[in-house]
Chain A
Amino acid sequence: DGGITQSPKYLFRKEGQNVTLSCEQNLNHDAMYWYRQDPGQGLRLIYYSQIVNDFQKGDIAEGYSVSREKKESFPLTVTSAQKNPTAFYLCASSSRAEQFFGPGTRLTVL
């Protein structure tokens, strides 16, 4: 899982709550990504950031928000607007197109 850490490993959320997933990297990469993984659907891009203080929506950004205040950090907030947030969330950073992944956070809505 390289130099990317995600916390927590498991997260439980009640309906209507916002939760924030942490992603930190020490690889000095400019670009960072958030993916959602559901069974049988592969990886879907939520948000990505190519540089500090800038980020773009991916394919499924609705109900999610991000910030990129530091090069090392790219936290993802799952808001109450996300109707089906139970999934495995993966953070990645990249250098020259090759992406390096964190260990993931499994979010479950109770």
Chain B
Amino acid sequence: AQSVAQPEDQVNVAEGNPLTVKCTYSVSGNPYLFWYVQYPNRGLQFLLKYITGDNLVKGSYGFEAEFNKSQTSFHLKKPSALVSDSALYFCAVRDTSNTDKLIFGTGTRLQVFP
């Protein structure tokens, strides 16, 4: 079965430190991978995506993600965290059996402390 796992419910990091939010996936075929961010009581906002090409993808607000095919991972990273980065982050992969659907992880809450 196709799936996405975000193994950490919450990640805590001090402002100015690098951050990583983990995501692993299981799909057949080549994955289309996405990261979204959600602020309280808001919809999801697109951060970045990997479809093909360079394994390091750069996105909005200084975030980037590294696609690792051998480890089936797509971890979200940022070199220097801001307090305003505190939010809920979702990883998603396109369902290869129905390419109009996305499969979402359960989300990771990022808390950046001043």
Where the two chains meet, the residues of A that have a C-beta atom closer than 8 Å to any C-beta of B are 1, 4, 6, 31, 40-43, 45, 48, 50, 88, 90, 92, 94, 97-104, 106
A interface secondary structure, majority: strand
A39 → chain B closest CB, angstroms: 10
Determine if B100 and A50 form an interchain contact, defined as CB atoms under 8 angstroms apart.
yes
Determine if A104 and B43 form an interchain contact, defined as CB atoms under 8 angstroms apart.
yes
* Extra A-B contacts (11), CB below 8 Å, given A97-B32, A102-B43, A106-B41: A1-B43, A1-B45, A6-B43, A31-B100, A42-B90, A92-B43, A94-B100, A98-B46, A99-B34, A99-B46, A101-B43
A102 → chain B closest CB, angstroms: 5
Interface centre among A40, A48, A88, A99 (most CB of B within 10 A): A99
Taking CB atoms, residues of chain A closer than 8 Å to B101 are 45, 48
Q: B75-113: contact bitstring with A at CB < 8 Å (1 yes, 0 no)?
A: 000000000000000101010000111101111000000
Bound Cα distance A94, B46 (Å): 12
Bound Cα distance A88, B40 (Å): 11
A97 and B102 in contact, given A1-B42, A1-B43, A42-B90 (Cβ under 8 angstroms): yes
The chain A residue sitting closest to B49, CB to CB, is A98
The chain B residue sitting closest to A9, CB to CB, is B41
Taking CB atoms, residues of chain A closer than 8 Å to B36 are 101
A43 and B42 in contact, given A97-B32, A98-B49 (Cβ under 8 angstroms): no
Determine if A100 and B104 form an interchain contact, defined as CB atoms under 8 angstroms apart.
no
Determine if A104 and B100 form an interchain contact, defined as CB atoms under 8 angstroms apart.
no
Taking CB atoms, residues of chain B closer than 8 Å to A98 are 34, 46, 49
Determine if B43 and A48 form an interchain contact, defined as CB atoms under 8 angstroms apart.
no
Bound Cα distance A30, B94 (Å): 17
B31 → chain A closest CB, angstroms: 11
Bound Cα distance A92, B102 (Å): 11
Determine if A42 and B46 form an interchain contact, defined as CB atoms under 8 angstroms apart.
no
